[in-house]
């Protein structure tokens, strides 16, 4: 970077620091929170995002008391010890964020339990799929950093790396964890966060049989699942019993932003 804005972490020289040691780098886009909200519901929930493109998102559901699970395209909470399973998933399209949470069923009989669950979501002003039109917003004052060859005066969210009107999530803690599974048993890892609320987070995992990193939760079958959740004290990483033996690797980000209202 020949010109721009860089802010380094404590003890790092801003002129020499690697990108991983920077708090902010105007060469890189920040996920700008376009819209956030919460509610209680069960089954399919649709939320208009009012953007002209398909946006990225983060969403969470309280599937057990004080446990906020991240929602992605394919999640399942349940085990051989818990006969009531809960499917949960979410996705965005050009119109809305769709969440399906909390519809649980009894594995042996198929009977369902419709229990309303708390949820929280962030919709970002950043594309998961490009569109021909742009999304305009108003900002009377504040700080803007535009993308290369774009005007900082632009009111189109796609043209900006950063805007104080739509601030990004604040990264609080990050790290990597390795878990050894020597037998067909599982394991649970607790990472303390010290925040006064249940935080938002995201986790990638690499199983022994994987060539790359994948987001979790990952549903394998009714008794073998890989997922993470946050509580008032911890981020919890869970490898269910029955997975392949070997080394499981996790990369996690904990944000100083809420996963529950």
Q: What is the mean pLDDT of residues 117-133?
A: 83
Chain Cα centroid distance, residue 79: 23
Residue 243 clears pLDDT 70, i.e. is over it: no
pTM of the complete model: 0.84
- Domains in the chain, start-ordered, CATH in brackets? 171-258 (2.60.40)
Residue 108 clears pLDDT 50, i.e. is over it: no
Q: What is the mean pLDDT of residues 10-24?
A: 82
Q: What is the mean pLDDT of residues 248-260?
A: 94
In this predicted structure, which of 91-105, 132-146, 229-243 has the lowest mean pLDDT?
132-146
Residue 129 clears pLDDT 70, i.e. is over it: no
Q: What is the mean pLDDT of residues 164-184?
A: 85
pLDDT (0 to 100) of residue 226: 77
The Cβ-side half-sphere exposure at 49, using a 13 Å CA radius, reads: 27
| CA 151 – CA 147 distance, rounded (Å) | 8
pLDDT (0 to 100) of residue 206: 87
pLDDT (0 to 100) of residue 2: 58
The Cβ-side half-sphere exposure at 61, using a 13 Å CA radius, reads: 28
Residue 114 clears pLDDT 70, i.e. is over it: no
Locate tokens 């970077």: which residue?
Answer: 1
SS3 29: coil
> What tens digit of pLDDT does each residue of 75-90 get?
667 644 455 567 788 9
pLDDT (0 to 100) of residue 6: 80
pLDDT (0 to 100) of residue 68: 93
Over the chain, what is the mean pLDDT? 82
pLDDT band (50, 70, 90) for residue 222: very low
CB 128 within 8 A of CB 92: yes
């Amino acid at each position: 970077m020949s010109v721009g804005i860089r802010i380094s972490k404590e003890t790092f020289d801003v002129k020499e620091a690697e990108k991983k040691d920077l708090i902010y780098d105007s060469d890189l886009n920040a996920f700008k929170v376009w819209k956030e909200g919460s509610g209680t519901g069960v089954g399919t929930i649709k939320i208009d995002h009012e953007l002209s493109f398909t946006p990225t998102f983060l969403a969470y559901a309280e599937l057990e008391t004080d446990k906020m699970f991240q929602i992605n395209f394919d999640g399942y909470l349940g085990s051989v010890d818990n006969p009531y399973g809960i499917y949960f998933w979410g996705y965005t399209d050009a119109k809305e964020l769709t969440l399906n949470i909390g519809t649980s069923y009894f594995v042996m009989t198929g009977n369902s339990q419709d229990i309303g669950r708390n949820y929280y979501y962030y919709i970002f002003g950043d594309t998961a799929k490009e569109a021909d039109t742009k999304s305009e917003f108003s900002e009377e004052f504040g700080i803007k950093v535009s993308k290369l060859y774009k005007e900082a005066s632009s009111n189109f969210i796609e043209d900006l790396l950063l805007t104080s009107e739509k601030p990004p999530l604040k990264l609080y803690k990050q790290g990597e964890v390795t878990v050894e599974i020597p037998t067909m048993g599982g394991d649970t890892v607790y990472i303390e966060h010290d925040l006064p609320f249940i935080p938002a987070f995201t986790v990638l995992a690499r199983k022994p049989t994987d060539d790359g990193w994948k987001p979790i939760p990952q549903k394998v079958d009714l008794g073998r699942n890989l997922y993470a959740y946050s509580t008032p004290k911890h981020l919890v990483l869970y490898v269910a019993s029955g997975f392949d033996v070997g080394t499981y690797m996790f990369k996690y980000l904990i944000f100083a932003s809420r996963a529950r209202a």
